[in-house]
Amino acid sequence: MKTFESAAADAPTAPDRLLVGVSDYVVAEDGETLVAYGLGACVAVALYDPEAGVGALAHTMLPHQPAEGGSPGKYADEAVRTMLRELVARGGDYEAAEAWLVGGAEIFALPDIADGAGERNVAAAREQLAALDVALAGMAVGGSRGRTVEFDTATGEVRVSTADGHEEVL
């Protein structure tokens, strides 16, 4: 049946792979692989406590949560705060947590299109991690290519791929 040509539907999934949609975040403690697909200016924030085996991934779209609130997964700063709280609530250790950032590219050079949005998202996430004293273990940010990140919470491996077939493990 042809329904919608959805990236989520077409992305390869296995029972232990969970897709994290835009403005969403997922916390995993059973070794699932968390996937944020097709990051352009959006920034994925991964948090992990290797000892407890608890990991979280957010697919953020904007840098700062406004005063009136809003979906935590949508904003880089609030995603860091919310996921860290949930990591601890699920048995993770605040001081052991480490982070990775992926995305924040500039895909199009349109003059008025969210100019520097990717950079601002990356900066907001980094500032929030620094403010909470969370170590930044790796990054694949900036540039002009879209990225997909797969975060294996069983091993802590963060794998980044691009449309041209390039892959790297952070």
Partner 1 sequence: MRLDVDALGTFYEMAREGAQLAADRLTPMTDIQARVGVTRLDFTTGEAIRAELDDDVEKVGIRVELTGGMDGTALLLFDEASAEAVAGTLTDGLDGSDEALTRSAIAEVSQIMNSGFVDGWADVLRTEIDVSTPDLVAGTEPEAFVDPDDVATGDDLAVVFRSQIEAVGTEFAFRHYFVPTAESIEALFQRRTAGYALEYEKLVGFDRMAHRGAETVAENLTKMTGIEMDVDIRRINFVSLDAIPEDVPAEPQVSVAFSFDGLPSGYLLFLFGERSARSLVSATVGESELDESGIGAFGQDAVQELSNVMASGLLDGWANLLDTTIDHTTPTYAHDMGAAVVDPLIVGLSEGQEFAFVFDTRIEAVDADIEFDLDIFAIPDEGDLERALERLEVGRVDDTPTRAEFTAAADGPDSEDLRELAEMEGVDL
Q: Which positions lie near partner 1, rule CB under 8 A?
A: 1-11, 13-19, 21-24, 37-42, 61-62, 74, 105-114, 117-118, 144-148, 162-163
Question: Tokens for 115?
Answer: 């100019």
The residue (of 20 and 97) whose beta carbon lies closer to partner 1 is 20
The residue (of 7 and 169) whose beta carbon lies closer to partner 1 is 7
The residue (of 40 and 55) whose beta carbon lies closer to partner 1 is 40
State how far the Cα of 90 lies from the Cα of 51, in Å rounded to an integer: 12
Report yes or no: 103 and 76 within 8 Å, Cβ to Cβ. no
* 42: annotated active-site residue: yes
Q: How far is the CB of 42 from partner 1 (least distance, A)?
A: 5
Radius of gyration of the chain (CA): 15
Q: How far is the CB of 89 from partner 1 (least distance, A)?
A: 22
Exposed, middle or buried, 25 (CB in 10 Å: 0-12/13-18/19+)? buried
The residue (of 24 and 150) whose beta carbon lies closer to partner 1 is 24
Catalytic residue among 42, 84, 101, 160: 42
What DSSP assignment string belongs to 64-100?
Answer: S--TT---GGGBHHHHHHHHHHHHHHTT--GGG-EEE
For 41, phi then psi, to 5°, come to -75, -20
Q: How far is the CB of 39 from partner 1 (least distance, A)?
A: 6
Question: Tokens for 10?
Answer: 């077409």
Q: How far is the CB of 16 from partner 1 (least distance, A)?
A: 8
> How many residues comprise the chain?
170
For the annotated catalytic residues, the residue numbers are 42
